[in-house]
Chains A and B, each alone.
Chain A
Amino acid sequence: MIFDKPDSVELLDAVNHFLNEKIKDEVPPHLVFKLRIVENVLNIVSREIALGEKLSREVINDLRKLIEADTANIKDLALLIKEEKVDLQNEDLKNLLVKLSKNKITIDNPNYSTFKKLVD
């Protein structure tokens, strides 16, 4: 990257801090809920920048092993399932779907109860 510090994640952290520390107490009650959503959105973006590539790669690697195709992606897997061209009872398939779901929620909402329960 040719850009100076702060990097994108650090910029987002600064915005989030500003919203949390300076703005939160100023907004009318009916907007507090929306402000929380804004903060959540910024956190998703921040986590995706930091971890998105790695978490996607893990799933894609497992997927390509499972279906023995070097260029396969998530859309291909969806289609194979739809057309029942994979064995739906295959444990590796089930494990892959679990990993896909876990990796997505790691970015979208790592505090989500089911994810926390499964990780503990």
Chain B
Amino acid sequence: MSQELGSLLSKKLESESINGEIINLEPLTGGASKEIWKFEVKLKDKSEKYILRRGSGIEGPLVIKTSDEALIQKTVRKLGALVPEIISVSSLSEPLGDSYIMKFVEGETIARKILRDTEYKNALLNLAFECGESIAKIHQTDIAELSFLPKKTVKEQLSDLYETYTLFNQPSPVFEYTYLWLKEQNFGEIDDALVHGDFRLGNIIVSQDGLQSIIDWELAHVGNPLQDLGWICGNSWRFGNTDKVVGGFGNLEDLLDGYNSVSEYQVDPETVKAWQVFGTFRWGVICLIQASAHLNGTINSVEKAAIGRRVSETEIDIVDLLFLGGR
């Protein structure tokens, strides 16, 4: 498979005037739904590192085309936001499939390494502020250039999530309660912005110097951008460091200081809490969607099967937030 992929990559890069031998092609542990390959192109006197991100063509309902992710990265990069440089984009009908090639960015994405390894200790101190700043910048993107993105109000998103949950015919008393609670919340009077949709450790590249890049745009859409702030505060993305509300590494105050230093719209902690519950419910529904791909026979995957039993993580997080004083 690697050899065949290597020759496809080589041809694609030739069309971008990058001519060289493809070496060190290796799969990276990526998300559950996309392939990620790292490789180098051997040029005359040096070699350049790249990443191939490739969709399977059978992603779930919330996921955009991989080639569209590349277009978003190109657009936000023009604003000066931290994203890797896109080198080449391939559509589903091309030999390489729905995918893109981007420059490799040095740093780490694996959450547990970032949180545990001493080399990132200093970077973590300022990371929540940096995340706030960077995501606020992304939220200022002119969405006119991204008309292909799905656009949803909070209300629509919430009822979509609820309807999706009901499709799986696995009634959850906690989710029913959550839906009623969420319908009563204030999510902030801001709309029609680019939302990353999966902004958290795992989808950012961190080096010793701090935040380097924001990647994995597959859940991007247009809507109320404060969703990104609640998402990164979800306990699912704290990787065991429950007392560090932001991503397992930072404080909410720092995240909001960073955000509010860039954003005209000033965000308060209560709004983030509403989004945190929303995000936790959303992650629960995404778990259901992922598991259903296995359960309905689309794909036989132990990963997707296992994720069905992670719905209960979101339920315990929600009851903690709603009834037990959780943060």
Q: Chain A interface (Cβ within 8 Å of chain B)?
A: 29-30, 33-34, 37-38, 40-41, 44, 74-75, 77-79, 81-82, 84, 88, 94, 96-98, 100-102, 104-105, 107-109, 112-115, 117-118
Contact = CB atoms under 8 A, between A and B. Distances in A.
B293 interface: no
Interface residues of B, number: 36
Contact of A98 (B28, B172, B241, B319): B319
Interface of B: 26-29, 171-177, 179-180, 235, 238, 240-242, 302-303, 305-306, 309-310, 312-313, 315-320, 322-324, 326
A81 B180 contact: yes
B171 A101 contact: no
A108 B313 contact: yes
A49 to B, nearest CB: 14
Contacts of A108: 309-310, 312-313
Dominant secondary structure at the A interface:
helix
28 contacts: A30-B26, A30-B29, A33-B29, A37-B302, A40-B306, A74-B171, A74-B172, A75-B171, A79-B171, A79-B176, A94-B319, A97-B173, A98-B323, A101-B312, A101-B316, A101-B318, A104-B312, A104-B316, A105-B313, A105-B316, A109-B310, A112-B313, A113-B238, A113-B242, A114-B316, A114-B317, A118-B320, A118-B324
Given A74-B171, A98-B324, A114-B313, A88 B319 contact: no
Given A79-B171, A81-B176, A113-B240, A101 B319 contact: yes
Contacts of A107: 312
Contacts of A84: 180
A108 B311 CA distance: 9
Dominant secondary structure at the B interface:
helix
B258 to A, nearest CB: 25
Contact of B312 (A94, A109, A113): A109
A39 to B, nearest CB: 10
B177 A38 contact: no
Contact of B174 (A40, A79, A97, A115): A97
A38 B310 contact: no
Contact of B313 (A30, A78, A100, A109): A109
B173 A30 contact: no
A57 to B, nearest CB: 17
Given A41-B306, A81-B180, A104-B315, A114 B242 contact: yes
A102 B316 contact: yes
Contacts of A75: 171
Nearest to A95: B323
A78 B242 contact: no
B174 A100 contact: yes
Contacts of B323: 94, 97-98
Nearest to A77: B173
Given A41-B309, A81-B177, A114-B235, 5 more contacts: A41-B306, A78-B172, A100-B174, A105-B315, A118-B324
